[in-house]
Amino acid sequence: MVLAALMQVSASVMNGGAGEGVVDFFHGFQPAIMMTVMFNLVQFVYWRCKQSRRGTCWQIYEPVFHTFVSAVLVNVQPLMILAIGSWHFMCCPNNIFGFNETTNPAGRSYQPWADGAPRPCDENGSAFWTDKYCTGAYLPTFPNKTEGWLIQIFCTWGGFVFMFIGVMQATQLHKKLQAKFRAIRTGR
């Protein structure tokens, strides 16, 4: 998708045209990669703490807890976007899908399944984007709804904060940097 953006491939090609499969692929590929990386990091921190830390259970495994929380939080947004894309949970006006008030009195619908029947809904767009993205005319990079931004800030960015804390505690990198800085300042 980044390559398509650099090559200025239009959003309508990526979201509704020939490139739609690429978008769907990356909506599935990103959670797979993120889950693999984040949960492997949890395993690394677990074994590192088990080998090098002593004390109570909390003293030994506190970094593992932080890293596990980070793995869960960082994967919330990619998994939600995968669900929205896979099951077409984008609530749009009826006219986008060719429905009228007699076929779907709700006035809004999710994209129909293969049988073409309306799937009524009562929201505007999805958790991340308003219904102006229903037609595929835009390629949204960032959420334009409040709940989408909250998910991005608290889950994704908050998850990376937890990851930083857990990895720093597990590797004792902050203590190693302090010792190196002291050694440089004292000339040793």
Looking at the fold, whether 95 and 73 belong to one and the same domain comes out as no
Indicate whether 2 belongs to any domain. Answer: no
Question: Which pTM was predicted?
Answer: 0.78
Indicate whether 80 belongs to any domain. Answer: yes
Looking at the fold, whether 96 and 179 belong to one and the same domain comes out as no
**131 vs 4: which has the higher pLDDT:** 131
E strand residue ranges, the chain: 92-93, 108-110, 119-120
Q: What percent of the chain has pLDDT over 90?
A: 44
Sorted by sequence, the CB contacts under 8 Å of residue 169 that are 6+ apart come out as 62, 63, 66
pLDDT score at 12:
46
Indicate whether 131 belongs to any domain. Answer: yes
In whole numbers, what is the pLDDT of the chain averaged over residues?
85
pLDDT score at 32:
93
Looking at the fold, whether 72 and 98 belong to one and the same domain comes out as no
Looking at the fold, whether 43 and 82 belong to one and the same domain comes out as yes
pLDDT score at 2:
55
**Mean pLDDT, rounded, for 157-174:** 94
Looking at the fold, whether 46 and 119 belong to one and the same domain comes out as no
Looking at the fold, whether 134 and 83 belong to one and the same domain comes out as yes
Residue-wise pLDDT tens digits, 9-56: 444 444 555 556 777 788 789 899 999 999 999 999 999 999 999 999
pLDDT band at residue 86, thresholds of 50, 70 and 90?
A: confident
Indicate whether 142 belongs to any domain. Answer: yes
pLDDT score at 112:
86
Looking at the fold, whether 84 and 141 belong to one and the same domain comes out as yes
Looking at the fold, whether 69 and 107 belong to one and the same domain comes out as no
Which domain-ending residue is among 80, 106, 124?
A: 124
The boundaries of the domain holding residue 61 are: 11-20+31-88+126-186
pLDDT score at 151:
94
Say how many domains are in the chain: 2
**Mean pLDDT, rounded, for 79-108:** 86
Sorted by sequence, the CB contacts under 8 Å of residue 26 that are 6+ apart come out as 1
Indicate whether 3 belongs to any domain. Answer: no
Task: Determine the 3-state secondary structure of 92 from DSSP.
Answer: strand
**32 vs 111: which has the higher pLDDT:** 32
Looking at the fold, whether 77 and 116 belong to one and the same domain comes out as no
